[in-house]
Amino acid sequence: MGTSVFYFVATLSIIFSLMVIFSKNPIHSVLYLILTFFTFTVHYVLLNAQFLAVVNFIVYMGAIMVLFLFVLMLLNLNKENEPNKSALVKILGVIAGGCLLVTLVGSFKAVSINSPLVLQNPNLGLVKNLGKELFGPFMLPFELSSILLLTAMVGAVLLTKKEEKANG
């Protein structure tokens, strides 16, 4: 049953991700992206990573996508007032997309399907185990990444402060 659920949800993920790109309306794109993240949550649940599933749910679906939607609504982008993209941007887009495709194909070739990755501890995704892992062997990278986030936050606050001074 697990595999059939996986294939069903994986198909949905791919369809929704494609819809993100193909939707003309940016708001619809964001809504499809929310659905895509929801299917990711289901994937995490299937992998028995409950904590990651629910955090993905809260942070990506509940917070980041709300902000995306918020900004898009604020800008109120429509098909009519969408700026014409220059040829240079289009060519750059094609090149970047091509590079991504090459990387993806290369990485898929490198992974041999014959030896699937097996977790030593299937309950690793539960909160207690994950916490012990994060604050044990991975203490330093975890703390460093949180400092990185803090730096970004302070930077963002500082940027808005500067603007205020220039205006007033």
**Where on the chain is the footprint of other proteins (CB under 8 A)?**
27, 31, 34, 50-51, 54-55, 57-58, 61-63, 66-67, 69-70, 73-74, 76, 126-127
**In the bound complex, what is the minimum distance in angstroms from residue 101's beta carbon to other proteins?**
33
- Residue (1 or 88) nearer to other proteins, CB: 1
> Measured from the CB of residue 136, what is the shortest distance to other proteins in angstroms?
17
Instruction: Please name the residues in contact with 60: beta carbons below 8 A apart, sequence gap of 6 or more.
Output: 37, 40
Residue type, 115: S
Nearer to other proteins, 93 or 131 (CB): 131
CA atoms of 31 and 103, how far apart (whole Å): 28
Q: Which is nearer to other proteins, 66 or 111 (CB)?
A: 66
Q: Which helix (H) or strand (E) holds 30?
A: helix 26-46
Residue 16 or 57 with smaller CB distance to other proteins: 57
Q: Determine which helix (DSSP H) or strand (DSSP E) holds 142, and give its type and residue range.
A: helix 139-167
CB 41, min distance to other proteins, A: 9
Determine whether 49 is exposed, middle or buried from the number of CB atoms within 10 Å of its CB (0-12, 13-18, 19+): buried
Closest separation between CB of residue 131 and other proteins, Å? 10
